[in-house]
Amino acid sequence: MTAKTTRTIKYSMIGDIRKGDLYALLSVCTDHDLKPLLSLIKDRVSSSIESDDEYKKSPSQPSRYYRAIGDEIRRFGGNTMANTVRGGGPDYREIVGDVCKRFGVPFDESDIVKGESALLNLYLDVEWTTLPHSERDAAAERARAKVLSEATKFSNVVKGNAAKGPLAIFGLPGVPALTTLSLADPAYRVTAPCVLHIAYVRRQVLESIASNSTAVFENAPAVPRSVTRSATLTVSETGADSLVSLTRISDPGIEDWPRESSDAGISRLSPLFQAVPSLAAAQNVASNTYMEVVINGPLLTAKGKEGYRLITMIDGKPSHGTLLDPSSLSNIVNAGALLQVASVALGQKHLADIKRELNELKTTVKSIEDFQQNGRFAEVSGIVAYLEQVAPSVMAGEAPEGLSMVLEMNEVALLRDQGHLQTDIGKAIEEIAGISDPDTFGTGGIHTALKGLHARLERLCAEMHFCIRARAAVLQLAVTLGLSESLKTTRLDNIRRSLHDLREDGPLIARATKLMRQRAQALSAVTNTNSTISQRKLELLALNQNLIDRLKLTREDVERELDAAIGFFRQQVEPVRLILRLDGERIIGSKAA
């Protein structure tokens, strides 16, 4: 029989896997996924897995008897008497809750996966997001070994104290006040490492589902129907290809529409809908009409004078629309106007994002620690404010004289501030390694100190991203004004290297998260309960993940804007395609296609 080496996931099972169902997860596992579970249960005296018919047929292929493995894990999670009464072990939800409580991990009965994930996060010795795929199995094995070791110690403590009498176990750190039987009977040396491994496999499966990369899906939903196109309006120069075309289409199925509220940018196209009303609706002008707009390059060949043709194609038949007067048409399709429309989709909007980020930084940064940082933040903020002022005129082809020199000066200032920030980030990271515990007993002091250091590190990283984002904006405007190809390439590479320094696997953040994880997992005190220590560890580890998530989102935003903007300005020969949502003849939403 062939071994199962690929996870095959039915769409009907995805919901159950996400909810924490044990058997739904085991059913998609490979033999490699299941072998650690088999090794944990097979050699136990009370194990019955070897009596399973499927096991007897193919013991080396656990995917063929995954249900028996699940049943066995559940049996180990309960005592013999209770299992006999109910005809099997407790529900998997109870097992996860029991293991989490024994290890001081918070557990919500309505969220099995969250409990699993917290347990996994507590015992992995490497941050998941920085862990290469090739090293995951080894990290999971180390985590299982650590949990097994702690479960064994716990079992020995309980047995030793139980021999002295039922009251002897009360008051032990991390031991709840339960009966001797309920504490000693469940085989935590089996259930604890099994739950941790299940958490590990589930996280991988959920990642596969989210990325659709390594999973093979069965019963996939039908591909959405194609967008249908009908009436088309084309504007072109006499004897030349079209400059801009607008086509009425069916509902494209876009749920999250960015709103268009100003009269600038895309709204310049509105008069074209007035020129040919039949494009706005098939029979009557109605709300929620959709248009596909294609702006062809090179845009700079468009002319601001007479000589345009306006042709419509309705039901496959060409006809002449009602032409606007030439001067009005020139205002719509001249190079500056089309460039501004395209820029809305391909880069200019990130200036609004910078403004939003500036406001967020002003809200979250409550205090500035020294004059150097205060002056640095003010300098970057001032540059961004200046960019916001000049961007509209640059995008419209009306840049003020001497702006290129000013932009170069801005780049110099931002590079200086970025260098200071990188130095300060390095110092903050080393402080995590060197911080001393202010308490003789307990973990409250070191917990608070580490949280404070992490908050400082997060603020510095946010400032550095803000600085890099401002450099990207300067570059975009400089390219529009004719920055040389060599300087543009060099600067773009430098910005991307700066972004890489703030990747989760880059030199700065990887070291920061590693040190924070080491300090968090080292927390211990005889005066704190197991639950208190575990919760403080999880809180510090969660700070790591929050930092990584925020940096990743910001970095991806900047990279996406760079790719779109620089790609557009490097070669204005590829068409820019937008989807518009109209209410009658008014544009109420737009999205890059």
Look at the block and give the residue holding tokens 């205060």: 374
User: Considering the chain, what is the average pLDDT of its residues?
Assistant: 77
Cis peptide bond upstream of 298, omega within 30: yes
Q: Is pLDDT at 167 greater than 50 in this prediction?
A: no
**Neighbouring C-alpha atoms within 13 Å toward the C-beta of 292:** 17
Strands (DSSP E) found in 375-498: none
Give the integer Cα–Cα distance in Å for 555 and 466.
Answer: 10
Q: What is the pLDDT of residue 78?
A: 77
**How do residues 24-40 score in pLDDT, each as one tens digit?**
999 999 999 999 999 99
Give the integer Cα–Cα distance in Å for 471 and 520.
Answer: 36
Give the residue, 170 or 81, on which the prediction is more confident.
81
Q: In this structure, what token pair is assigned to residue 157?
A: 């403590």
Residue 483 burial (CB < 10 Å; 0-12/13-18/19+)? buried
**How do residues 131-151 score in pLDDT, each as one tens digit?**
889 999 999 999 999 998 887
| Sign of the dihedral through C-alpha 59, 64, 67, 70 | positive
Q: How far is CA 368 from CA 375, 381, 460, in A?
A: 10, 14, 11
Q: Provide φ and ψ at 402, rounded to 5°.
A: 85, 5
**How do residues 86-104 score in pLDDT, each as one tens digit?**
667 889 999 999 999 888 8
Which of 104-108, 267-271, 331-335 has the least mean pLDDT?
A: 331-335
**How do residues 385-404 score in pLDDT, each as one tens digit?**
888 788 777 766 678 889 99
Give the integer Cα–Cα distance in Å for 137 and 197.
Answer: 10
Q: Is pLDDT at 348 greater than 80 in this prediction?
A: no
Q: What is the pLDDT of residue 278?
A: 57
Give the integer Cα–Cα distance in Å for 489 and 256.
Answer: 34
Q: Collapsing DSSP states into helix, strand and coil, what is residue 263?
A: coil
Q: What is the pLDDT of residue 484?
A: 86
CA-based nearest residue to 348, from 387, 386, 385: 387
Give the residue, 92 or 129, on which the prediction is more confident.
92
The percent of residues in the chain predicted with pLDDT above 70, rounded, is 68
pTM over 0.75: no
Q: What is the pLDDT of residue 557?
A: 74
- Contact yes or no for 572/338 (Cβ under 8 A): no
Q: Is pLDDT at 155 greater than 80 in this prediction?
A: no
Which of 171-175, 285-289, 290-294 has the least mean pLDDT?
A: 171-175
Look at the block and give the residue holding tokens 């013991």: 59
How much is the average pLDDT of 46-58?
89
How much is the average pLDDT of 369-387?
72
Task: List Cβ neighbours of 416 (8 Å cut-off, separation of 6 or more).
Answer: none
The percent of residues in the chain predicted with pLDDT above 90, rounded, is 26
Q: Is pLDDT at 592 greater than 80 in this prediction?
A: no
Helices 188-211 and 31-42 pack at an angle, to 10 degrees, of 170
Q: What is the pLDDT of residue 494?
A: 94
Q: How far is CA 435 from CA 428, 447, 455, 516, 539, in A?
A: 10, 11, 15, 11, 18
CA-based nearest residue to 200, from 270, 255, 120, 283: 120
Neighbours of 530 (CB within 10 A): 20
Q: Collapsing DSSP states into helix, strand and coil, what is residue 98?
A: helix
Predicted confidence band of residue 171 (pLDDT cuts 50, 70, 90): very low
Give the residue, 343 or 64, on which the prediction is more confident.
64
